[in-house]
Each structure stands twice: as structure tokens, then as C-alpha cells.
Structure 1
Amino acid sequence: MTPGTEVEEPVEVEGEAATEAEAPSAEAGEASAAGEQTSSEEEASAEPTDDRAWYVIHCYSGYEHKVKHNLEQRIETMQMQDKIFQVVIPTEEEIEVKDGKRRTVERRVFPGYILVQMIMDDDSWYVVRNTPGVTGFVGMGNRPTPLRPEEVQAIMKRMEAEAPRIRVAFRRGEKVRIIDGPFNEFIGVVDEIDMERAKVRVLVSFFGRDTPVELDFLQVEKI
């Protein structure tokens, strides 16, 4: 080394070194974020966009089963199974007590109305609306209005009830004839009806005064 010669000492550039060292991790983070975003977008696009809902159609009372059959045939013939899924007539079982006899009957919950689960568009609307026997959709103006989820749930729950409802032919204040028991052939007036216990309290004129008598539904008949 000769005198007068300046020696440049190496200078550590910590900032630049750190920046260069950190650069790959930053790029990796960006790549990871981009990958996650792409994955999320792919997952979102892969989720089914099913707009199915329950709608109510109207038909003439007493023709519900015929209209249901006609609509199901049209769905199959016109290959609309991917847009129209279920056709349901809301019914429930009832125990009918009449003339001292008990029988189980299937009663329509909403006579003249049918539920249809479908994806509403021009094609599916045309198939349903032009089914023989269908008089129209239920809704505001010409626009069908879907049922709310809680409304559908209430209807289905009513249809699936385990215990049949009891229906009697008489009402409070009406005259009935007792057809069984100690007061057989007596005429009385219905005072109270207990649907849970299937009992009826009848006021019977006995020795000049009204006497309350509790009877089973099967022990009385409407006059």
C-alpha cells in the first residue's frame, strides 16, 4: 500500500440488505393473499344459486287432486323437473264424530289452494299457469308472491301432526240427543265442548231443572 492511497472501507448497508431480505416474504404474502382470494372466488362461484321457493296456486275447490295430477304430468312431459320440484295439497287427518260414530277423514287445510315449490322464471310460470284447472297464482297484482319460510314451516308441521284433530257435528247451544248411558233418549242442550278430552257437557231437563251431564262425543248425536 503506497502512501496517499485512500482505502475505502466496506460499508454495511443494513436498510437495503433488510429490504432485499424481506422482499421475498412480502411477495410470498401477496401471492398467498392472491391465492386465497382466487380460492374464495372459486368457492363462491361453485356454490349453487338455488332460488327455489314455495308459491300458492288457486284452483276450483274439489279439483285439487286432479289439478295436481295435471301439473305433475306437464312437469314430466315438458322436462321441468329442474325448476318445479314439489306439488303439495295441504291436508290433515281429522276424527269426525257424527251420529254417534267416529271415523278418520282426510281434510283439505286450504280448499282450492295448492302449494308448488319451484324456481320462478318465465318458463316455469308458463308451465304452472297454463295447467288445466289452475286459475292463477296468489300474489300482488300479476306478480306471484312466495311464502315466507315460517309460513311453509307452519303448514308442514300441521300436515305432519301425529294426533288427528277431532271435529264434532254439534256446537254450544245446539240441541242433541243422548244415545248411550243412563240418560239414553234424553234431549239436552250442549253447554261445553272439551276437545282435548273428547267430552261434551249437556244440560238435561231432569225433574224440572237443568242437570249438567258429562258425556263422550260418541254418546250424543245432533238433532
Structure 2
Amino acid sequence: MLKKWFVIYTLTGNEDRVKKLISTIYPREEVKPLVPSRRLKEIKQGVETVKTRTMFPGYVFIETNLSNELYRSMMRIPSIVKLLKVDSEPVHVSDEEMHPILKLTADSEIIGFSKGIRIGTKVKIIDGPLKSFEGRIISIDARKGRAKVCLDLLGEGKRVDLGLVVLKDIC
């Protein structure tokens, strides 16, 4: 029988504890817990630190063939509040909903830093009439999703305003 993903409500802040308890009590073949997290840079009083934060506070995903016996057993684990239900029946998370989460957490449960384009970054234009040209970012308007790029056109540095979606970081 194909395993499905379910969601457990936990006390916020106890997601990793619940995951460890599930992993200790049940073999991985029976129940696979998942707590997607992300790595963030935080700056406090001028000091940059890297923190790991849970993406879905208060939730633990489990992949299992959920039986009544397994359900009752899991509800005895401390810090588990309940299982996500619809009309008093446990409901599984669809493959379409789980796919992006699993894709982001493919190698580990912790999602690393995103690589944004910054001022001074060397970029290549990947679409439009200037496709394949390379230049450097001069300024970025994140709200509008645009960047001013200095391109070498006709032997001169020309400023061009482009959408961020047509730029690819080549550093």
C-alpha cells in the first residue's frame, strides 16, 4: 500500500522533539517524520548570526500508512495535540501540495540561503532582444522587480533598465 503524508499539530516549539520521539518509537519504514526548516541570517546589534527556523511552526509532517492502532499510539506522544482531520477523519496531504516541500527539502530538512542578485553582480540576460549580453548590476528596485544594468554596447557602458526575471547571475 502506498504511503501518504499526514500533518500532526504539535505544541509550537516542540516540532523537533516530536520528530525525535516519532523516530525513536517507530521504525523509519513505518513512519517517516519531516520538519521543514530554513536557515536565516539575523543581525542584532550589528552582529550577524545564522539561525534555523521551522517553516511551519506547530506542525510535523509524517509519511505513513495510517492505521487506527498507529493513530491511537501516536496520540499518546507528549506534545502531539492532534492529527489534521476533516469531518473527524484524518486527511492526507495531496502529492501536489507536498511536492514543493519535498523538492525544497530534497537533500536535508533545512533549506539554505537563497541566492539573490546584488548590486555589482555580473549577470547575463537570458531573454528578450538583449539576450546573451553580459553586464553588471548598478541598482535594484526589488519592489518593482527591476534592475539597472551596465552593458558594454557599441564600445560604451550603457545603462539599461531590465526585469529581474531576465537576468541570471554568472559569478
- Same fold by TM-score greater than 0.5: yes
Provide the secondary structure at the position in 2 that maps to 1:126: helix
- Counterpart in 1 of 2:92? 146
- Partner Cα distance (2:29, 2:34) in 1: 17
- Of 66, 69, 74, which aligns to 1:123? 69
Structure number with the higher strand fraction is 2
1:73 positional shift: 2.3
Q: Find out whether 1:132 has 2:96 as its counterpart.
A: no
- Counterpart code for 1:69: K
Q: Deviations over 1:150-207 (max 9, x none)?
A: 21111123335875159xxxxxxxxxxxxxxxxxxxxxxxxx9859xxxxxxxxxxxx
| Counterpart residue number, 2:113 | 164
- AA partner of residue 130 (structure 1): R
CA contact (8 A) 1:58 1:135 kept: yes
Q: Percent identity?
A: 19
* Structure 1 residue matching 2:26: 3-state secondary structure: helix
Greater Rg, structure 1 or structure 2?
Answer: 1
Displacement of 1:142:
1.9
* 1:197-212 alignment runs, 5 A limit: none
Moved over 6 A (4+): none
Alignment of 1:3-82 (within 5 A): 50-76=1-27, 82=29
State the TM-score, normalizing by the size of structure 2: 0.58
Q: For residues 71 and 103 of structure 1, do their structure 2 counterparts lie closer, same or farther at Cα, with a shift above 3 Å needed? A: same
Which structure dedicates a bigger proportion of its chain to helix? 1
Tell me if structure 2 keeps the 8 A contact 1:93–1:106: yes
Long gaps (5+) in structure 2: 116-139, 144-171
2:38–2:54 contact (8 Å) kept in structure 1: yes
Shift of 1:141: 3.1
The alpha-carbon deviation at position 101 of structure 1 amounts to 2.7
* 1:109-120 correspondence runs (5 A): 109-120=55-66
CA shift for structure 1 position 129: 2.1
In structure 1, stretches of 5+ residues that fail to align are 1-49, 167-191, 196-223
Letter of the 2:30 counterpart: K
Matches within 5 A, 1:175-194: 194=142
8 Å CA contact 2:33, 2:60 repeated in 1: yes
- 1: distance between equivalents of 2:23 and 2:13? 18
Aligned to 2:30: 83
| Structure 2: distance between partners of 1:101 and 1:159 | 28
Distance 2:63 2:90 in 1: 12
2: CA distance, partners of 1:94 / 1:72: 26
